Amino acid sequence: MTGGYRAGPLARGIAWATVIYLVLPITIVVPVSMTDRRYLSLPYETLSLRHYANLLGSEAWLGAIWQSLWIAIASTAIAVVAGTLCAIGCWRLARRSTEWVRALMLLPLIIPSIVYAVGLYRWFGTLDLLDRFLGVTLAHGVTGIPYVVITVSTALAAFDPRLEQAARGMGASLGQTLRWVILPRIAPGIASGAIFAFIHSWDELVLVLFIASRNVFTLPRKIWDGINENLDPTMAAVAVLLIVFTVLLLLLDGALRARRDP
């Protein structure tokens, strides 16, 4: 990709416009979070950190963060285990039917989440999973599976199947081959999938709106309610923290990928 022609002014203009369009709405919350007013606005006279202090002193906000974190961790665990096993199984069998299984696994990503949420609402009602930690965790775990299936399948596509043959030829059982040969080779793919599944649960709102009400109150839900009820700039502070956290996760993902292909 080196030695090409330099982009012309038009192409550069469009590119920069796109970048600004993408980044500006995200960056605007930074000054808003430092406003000196008591409502959502840009700073008037001075910059203030009192909304951050408010956030860290508020039990409601911290509780929501805490709950979101646990749900994200638990649902990531579900997504990683189920998604990795599914991807490895499809890869090992490699028949036409496994292509269908893989496509089926991507459904939660393809179907609008509001449709999914309506279905879950009916279904969870009969299972008594509404407004419970387990229910939200399961919903987030299942909808996180596609991310893991995609990243692990990609990692497996680059895996030399002769390594598996070699391991079995030397007497390794399926479990030993999985533990010592396959998993270490696809670990970066699993980590990528885990990061995406985590982010997915961390900022998921639509499902939570349907299947949770008072007991389970995640961070996105809290922000949503905050916007509906009062325009407290604490939300902007939360948003900034969310952005920082997500960027850190993506940087981690990038670092893992860089390690995979040296």
Partner 1 sequence: MTALPRPEAMAPAGSAAHALELRGLSKRYGSFTAVDAVSLRVERGQFLTLLGPSGSGKTTILMAIAGFVAPSAGAVLLDGADITALPPERRDFGMVFQGYALFPHMTVAENVAFPLRVRRLGQAAREAKVRAALDLVQLSAFAERRPSQLSGGQQQRVALARALVFEPDLLLLDEPLSALDKKLRAELQEELKALHRRIGRTFVNVTHDQEEALSLSDQVAILNHGKLVQMGAPEALYERPRTRFVADFLGKSNFLRGTVREVRPDMMALQAGGTRLLQAVQGAHPAPGTPALLSLRPEKIALLAGEEAADNAVAGRIEAWAYLGAGYALTVATDDLGPLRVALPAWRAPIAPREGLPVRLGWSAEAAVPVLEDADGA
| Interface contacts to partner 1, rule CB under 8 A | 160, 162-163, 165-173, 176, 180-181, 184-185
Q: How far apart are CA 137 and CA 69, in angstroms?
A: 11
How near is the Cβ of 100 to partner 1 at its closest, in Å? 22
How near is the Cβ of 155 to partner 1 at its closest, in Å? 13
How near is the Cβ of 32 to partner 1 at its closest, in Å? 47
How near is the Cβ of 2 to partner 1 at its closest, in Å? 25
Q: In the complex with partner 1, which residue's Cβ is closer, 111 or 158?
A: 158
Q: How far apart are CA 117 and CA 114, in angstroms?
A: 5
Q: In the complex with partner 1, which residue's Cβ is closer, 85 or 172?
A: 172
> Which of 202, 68, 246, 77 has the alpha carbon at shortest distance from 145?
77
Q: In the complex with partner 1, which residue's Cβ is closer, 165 or 215?
A: 165
Report the interhelical angle of 59-93 vs 50-57 (nearest 10°).
80
> Which of 112, 178, 139, 151 has the alpha carbon at shortest distance from 260?
151
| Alpha-carbon distances of 80 from 11, 93, 206, rounded to whole Å | 40, 20, 22
Q: In the complex with partner 1, which residue's Cβ is closer, 22 or 170?
A: 170
How near is the Cβ of 257 to partner 1 at its closest, in Å? 16
Q: In the complex with partner 1, which residue's Cβ is closer, 45 or 160?
A: 160
Q: How far apart are CA 139 and CA 206, in angstroms?
A: 11
Q: How far apart are CA 103 and CA 202, in angstroms?
A: 24
> Cβ(117)–Cβ(79) under 8 Å?
no
How near is the Cβ of 160 to partner 1 at its closest, in Å? 7
Q: In the complex with partner 1, which residue's Cβ is closer, 173 or 215?
A: 173
Who contacts 150 (Cβ-Cβ below 8 Å, separation ≥6)?
A: 106, 193
